[in-house]
Structure formats: C-alpha cells, structure tokens
Amino acid sequence: MGKPPKILIVDDNQDLLFTMETFLKRNGFDVLTADDGQKGLALIKESHPDLVLLDIMMETTFSGLDVCKAVRSDADLNDIPIIGISGIGDEMGIQIDKWGDDDYFSVDEFFEKPVDREKLLERIKVRLKKGVIKRGHPDL
C-alpha cells in the first residue's frame, strides 16, 4: 500500500483549518496546515504536497493570490493542483463561478465558503487521480 496523498491546507481561519484537517485525515490523507501565505509557500517548497487547498483572500501580508502566483511561476511547483476557497463572494456581494480559469485566480478549481466538504472531497480525488497515481498513490 502506498503512502497517502499529502494535502496542504492554507487558511488564516483556525477553525476552518482544524475542521478541514480532521475531515481530510479521516478520509485517509496526510495533511499539513499553514495559517498564512508565507508559511504556506514555505511548506509547498519544502514538502511538495500532492494538492493545495488555499484560501484566496487571507487577511495576511502574503495572500492566497500571492501564493498562486509564486507557485505557478516556479517550474518545480507549477504542476501542483490548487483548489481555491474563499468567502469573497459573500464579502463583496459577487457570484464567483470560476473553475480552472488561469487568468482569474490561477487555481485549478474554486469553492465558495462555506465549503460543501463532500463535494470538495470528490473534487480532491478527481484532481489527485489526474497526476498523483503516477507518483505512487494507487489507493485513490
């Protein structure tokens, strides 16, 4: 049996970090967390996770958008799938229905908060199957 896929969650909301970490671990994933963009980017470079779950609009000096830009411009990292999450629609009163629009967020998929965890889990598995099996995760 191969090692479980490694997912990094980057969000400045401690409650969401704990809830998502617990949910993903219960579903068989190895989970890392970071509570700001700088820590998240450092963990991405250090651990090269199989997927990143990233809050786009963190109230930190290095936002999720900054993390996306840094990851997508780094040849060693730009193949890592990123699922963006944010409450930006509620905060700004807009509807966001972008899925994989590189000109918009540079994320592979986007979920509005509050996140439907079952739908997120389904999409995580789909994203991981597209590349992770080649890296030794046949359990997916």
14-51: pLDDT as tens digits: 999 999 999 999 999 999 999 999 999 999 999 999 99
- Alpha carbon distances (Å) from 8 to 11, 51, 94: 10, 6, 27
- Alpha carbon distances (Å) from 131 to 21, 106, 121: 22, 18, 16
- Alpha-carbon span 126 to 12, nearest angstrom: 26
Residue 61 has pLDDT above 90, yes or no: no
* Mean pLDDT value of segment 63-72: 91
Residue 86, pLDDT score: 87
On average, the pLDDT of the chain sits at: 84
Q: Report whether 82 contacts 71 (CB < 8 A).
A: yes
Strands (E), the chain: 6-10, 30-34, 51-55, 82-86, 109-112
DSSP state of 10: E
Hey, is 46 helix, strand or coil?
helix
Residue 57, pLDDT score: 84
- Alpha-carbon span 32 to 73, nearest angstrom: 22
Of the listed ranges 8-12, 13-17, 60-64, 98-102, the least confidently predicted one is 98-102
Angle at 80 between CA 76 and CA 81, to 5 degrees: 160
Going along the chain from its start, the domains and CATH numbers come out as: 6-135 (3.40.50.2300)
Q: Which two tokens stand for residue 32?
A: 């890392």
Residue 118, pLDDT score: 96
Q: Which two tokens stand for residue 78?
A: 């730009």
Model confidence over 83-125: pLDDT tens digits?
Answer: 999 886 544 444 444 444 454 457 888 898 899 999 999 999 9
> What is the pTM (predicted TM-score) of this model?
0.84
* Mean pLDDT value of segment 63-89: 89
